[in-house]
């Protein structure tokens, strides 16, 4: 039998939290692995449905958790974001083909994306080990310099920095600024920027 409740505490870095049942009963533990078929990360306040199972410690915990309200603001690292990234890469390829942009621009985006992905992976590892973290401003700066496709890949594949709305808002601002700069360079044919 499925129960209804709301996530009343969530630690995204550690991947666990607590769900308070709809009838205000005792909160139950929930781990990220208990969420089924979802591309977005849980957040405090999300309404969910779940089954109650017995944990390793003998206490009840949530299992087979699903979001009850699919109309909630979803993570921006979803299918439309991936499509946007693919279209942008196609835009770069076409621009290089028609000599509106140097092929070095593609190399720069690729290198920046790989470096940014590694930075996200390093930061997630540091968070899990309780070590020194990479500043969010550094991650944003890397995205601004062209590493945003790698950042998006890290958000989707590593599930890191994919649910904090404030972080995502700044991230998408860096994407907009970077894409606008690339568009300006292509429009004016300023290949010298990458030569």
For 112-154, the pLDDT digits (tens) are 999 999 999 999 888 777 788 889 999 999 999 999 999 999 9
Cβ partners under 8 Å of residue 123, min gap 6:
133, 134, 139, 160, 161
Distance CA 184, CA 55 (A): 56
Q: What is the CATH number of domain 3-67?
A: 2.40.50.140
Is the pLDDT assigned to residue 60 strictly greater than 80? yes
Distance CA 143, CA 150 (A): 8
- φ/ψ bin of 99: left (φ > 0), alpha (ψ from -120 to 50), beta (otherwise): left
Which of 77 and 3 is assigned the larger pLDDT?
Answer: 3
Query: Do 155 and 136 touch, CB atoms closer than 8 A?
Result: no
Report for 12-16, 98-102, 168-172: range of highest mean pLDDT:
168-172
Query: Where in the chain are the domains?
Result: 3-67, 79-194
For 84-112, the pLDDT digits (tens) are 999 999 999 999 999 888 899 899 999 99
pTM over 0.85: no
Distance CA 128, CA 158 (A): 12
């Amino acid at each position: 039998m499925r129960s209804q409740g709301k996530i009343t505490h969530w630690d995204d870095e550690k991947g666990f939290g607590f769900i308070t049942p709809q009838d205000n009963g005792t909160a139950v533990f929930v781990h990220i692995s208990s969420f089924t078929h979802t591309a977005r990360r849980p957040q405090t306040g999300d309404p969910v449905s779940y089954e109650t199972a017995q944990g390793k410690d003998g206490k009840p915990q949530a299992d087979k958790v699903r979001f009850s309200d699919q109309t909630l603001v979803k993570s921006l690292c979803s299918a439309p974001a991936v499509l946007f990234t693919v279209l942008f890469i196609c835009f770069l390829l076409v621009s290089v083909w028609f000599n509106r942009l140097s092929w070095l621009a593609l190399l720069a985006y690729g290198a920046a994306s790989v470096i940014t992905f590694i930075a996200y992976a390093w930061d997630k590892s540091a968070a899990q080990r309780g070590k020194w973290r990479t500043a969010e401003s550094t991650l944003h700066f890397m995205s601004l310099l062209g590493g945003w496709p790698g950042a998006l890949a890290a958000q989707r594949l590593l599930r890191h920095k994919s649910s904090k709305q404030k972080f995502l808002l700044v991230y998408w601002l860096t994407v907009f600024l970077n894409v606008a700069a690339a568009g300006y360079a292509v429009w004016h044919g300023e290949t010298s920027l990458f030569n």
